Homo-oligomer: A and B are copies of this chain.
Amino acid sequence: MAKLTIRDIAALSGLSKSTVSLVLNNSPKVDPATRRHVLAVMRRHRYVPSFAATALAKGSTRLIGMVVPGLSWHMVASINIGVAAVTERSGFDIILYTATNDRDYGSLIDRILTSSMASGLLVVSHEQPLEPLVQLHEEGLPVVLVNTIDADVALPSVTADNYDGALTAMDHLLQLGHERIACVQGRMTYRCCQDRYRGYLDSLRSAGLQPDPELTKPGDFLPEQIRSRSHELFALPADQRPTAVFAHSDVTAYAVMTAAAEAGLRVPEDVSVIGFDDIESAAQIRPPLTTIQQPFIDMGKRAAEMLLAEIGPTDDSSEADVVEPPAELPRLVMPTSLIVRASCGPVPVTRSPRGRSQTTKA
């Protein structure tokens, strides 16, 4: 009943604690026979070394911290699945810090560092100032940013290629013949949304189209705002009305489609709508949403791999002074993919019986 310690295992197998410890740490110095014996004893008694004692003696934990936003996002869950897949294979456990409003970030970060609770930090979709993190990183704590707003900070990061994703989305629309394409933005303080918007603009321009400011609407991921801004879009005179809209997220696209329906417009016959994310329901709604898929699970995996690499071999380089971080910061930008479903169609040839031309070449 009482928990076994290394001393018990030592006694049970007729050896010293030192030797038992060596087999625990896979030392090659121990005789294969004795190693097998010790292992057998440990297994028989279901011995598991004390987490705390190991951490204290080694000076580091097998824990990586993961800070996530306090939002019920699809994204966080998916990223976590990827992270879990790689950490569990490496014997690391992850300790979860959920950002809530009450939580004081500065002291949280501080605590993680100084209590040496975690040997690395994965920061997911963080909206807080990043300075404390770069400082942490400079002091030697491995940190990698995942899908985080400001990717320009001096920290390793993995993000989706939001700019290219936007290009791809626009390309799809352009190839269907659309020229009056609206953009309903997400939260523009997020780097990812800025990138998507840049993609929207650049894509239009390189197609020789002049972006119409009238066709850009702030949405901020707020359903009500998206709905009313979309109504403005659809209330435009027939020749100014967009024939397609690029929404900065799937849920944004849902709201746009609702507004379209309320305006008596059919999707995709009268107006095409493309989203961004590819959440679970995107394939189930009607019409099934054409969207840009973000590789969240893979992003989680790669981020975890980068972090583990930064943490290093754990055993060897323990005291190798402050390991110099690689000169070039790893910045992984992962490709998105276009998922074609049914919410985008060819541009209506004649929007009204009058069949006005809608092109506005620059």
Contact = CB atoms under 8 A, between A and B. Distances in A.
Interface of A: 1, 3-4, 46-53, 55-56, 61, 63, 66, 70-74, 76-78, 80-81, 83-85, 88-89, 93-98, 100, 102-103, 110-111, 113-117, 139, 223, 250-251, 254-255, 257-258, 261, 279-281, 283-286, 288, 296
Given A281-B251, A283-B223, A88 B102 contact: yes
Contacts of A74: 72, 74, 77
A250 to B, nearest CB: 8
Given A94-B96, A110-B46, A286-B257, A1 B139 contact: yes
B286 A258 contact: yes
A46 B114 contact: yes
10 contacts: A3-B116, A47-B114, A48-B110, A66-B96, A71-B81, A72-B74, A72-B81, A85-B100, A94-B96, A258-B285
Q: Which of A3, A51, A223 has the largest count of B CB atoms less than 10 A from its CB?
A: A51
A116 B50 contact: yes
A196 to B, nearest CB: 19
Nearest to A74: B72
Contacts of A102: 85, 88-89
B66 A73 contact: no
Contacts of A284: 223, 251, 254-255, 258
B96 A95 contact: yes
A48 B93 contact: no
Nearest to A48: B114
Contacts of A88: 98, 100, 102-103
A86 to B, nearest CB: 10
Between A56, A97, A288, the greatest number of chain B beta carbons within 10 A of the residue's beta carbon is seen for: A56
B52 A61 contact: yes
A296 B49 CA distance: 36
Given A66-B96, A114-B48, A281-B251, A77 B84 contact: no
